Structure 1
């Protein structure tokens, strides 16, 4: 068997691939959250529900925020410094939308977080299906925008040095030491 059994993340030397990998993990957590809000959660064992809720809670409480910071503090500003002409115009239009979507998703997360915390703690609680659907729809549209426009622009415009700068900032945000000799 050649296929890996583990979902390995790309290295920070490929920062756009890392951001895409984060999106894939977000999609996975959104599917889990959707299951926790539906009938499958009632059929699952209490321990399974607690573990799933804990994983979703952990991901969206930490990793998703770091991902947004990667975009807000590094990726988008670096693109703004680099983009010209049609790229600059597109970026000028999309950046406020992306930042607003981050705030809107965070507001919905503030409603979901205590619901997930209750499930993770073993309470006989449920997730509000409307909140879960809204969060999922917001995130899916948001990620599509970034994957369709922002990531391809960065891949096209960034020099190897800019990619390294972005990757190093993302690595530092997560407290990951830079590999020796790199």
Structure 2
């Protein structure tokens, strides 16, 4: 028998059937969105954390590129010119006849050819290095860079181990020859006064 209220309407008490089962995956969707947003922000902040180091690397790249441009313009080309205009001719003039002269001639031919090879390799790299010095985004060929460094290292090693010791022996026989070379190099690098002919 149903209970009735004072008004005579059926009495409705508390529900005795349990509510629909709770679905955690459905009700927490907004929170999952916040969590995913955090992950995205954190991943980008972790990348941002690397920015100072990348800036330092970029600054170092610009410095090295600028220094290398100056190196070739003011040192490498000038060094090659000094050798070809002053050193090589002086040693060739002072070399003894026969085998010694032939040896010097062969070395001079080799060293001069290597100068041209190194300069040609640099000419291909120079535009890209200029771009790096200006912080432009370019692809610098690592293989070409390594080949240039290796070529110059081999060139310098041969000159240091074989040609320069021989040149010292040849020019050292007559102190005047060594002095003449020193004077030629000095005059070559001494700025001339205005109006000098």
Q: TM-score range by the shorter chain?
A: 0.5 to 0.7
Give the whole-Å Cα distance in 2 for the aligned partners of 1:72 and 1:63: 14
Instruction: Describe how 1:30-45 pairs up with structure 2 within 5 A.
Output: 44-45=56-57
Is 1:118 aligned with 2:131? Answer: yes
- Greater RCO structure (CA 8 Å; 6+ sep): 1
What's the counterpart of residue 163 of structure 2? 150
Alpha-carbon offset, residue 176 of structure 1: 5.6
Change (3 A) 1:115 1:170: farther
TM-score, reference length from structure 1:
0.67
Is 1:52 aligned with 2:44? Answer: no
| Structure index of larger Rg | 2
What's the counterpart of residue 162 of structure 1? 177
Comparing 62-71 and 155-164, the one that deviates more: 155-164
> Is the 8 Å Cα contact of residues 66 and 174 (structure 1) preserved in structure 2?
no
- For structure 1, the 5+ residue unaligned runs are 1-41, 178-182
> Is the 8 Å Cα contact of residues 119 and 126 (structure 1) preserved in structure 2?
no
Select the residue among 73, 76, 101 that pairs with 1:64.
76
Structure 2 counterpart SS, 1:136: helix
What's the counterpart of residue 76 of structure 1? 88
Select the residue among 82, 95, 106 that pairs with 2:119.
106
TM-score, reference length from structure 2:
0.62
Give the whole-Å Cα distance in 2 for the aligned partners of 1:126 and 1:161: 52
Change (3 A) 1:155 1:167: same
- For structure 2, the 5+ residue unaligned runs are 1-53, 193-197
Change (3 A) 1:126 1:170: farther
Alpha-carbon offset, residue 164 of structure 1: 2.6
Alpha-carbon offset, residue 43 of structure 1: 7.8
Give the whole-Å Cα distance in 2 for the aligned partners of 1:86 and 1:129: 42
Aligned length: 137
Alpha-carbon offset, residue 125 of structure 1: 2.5
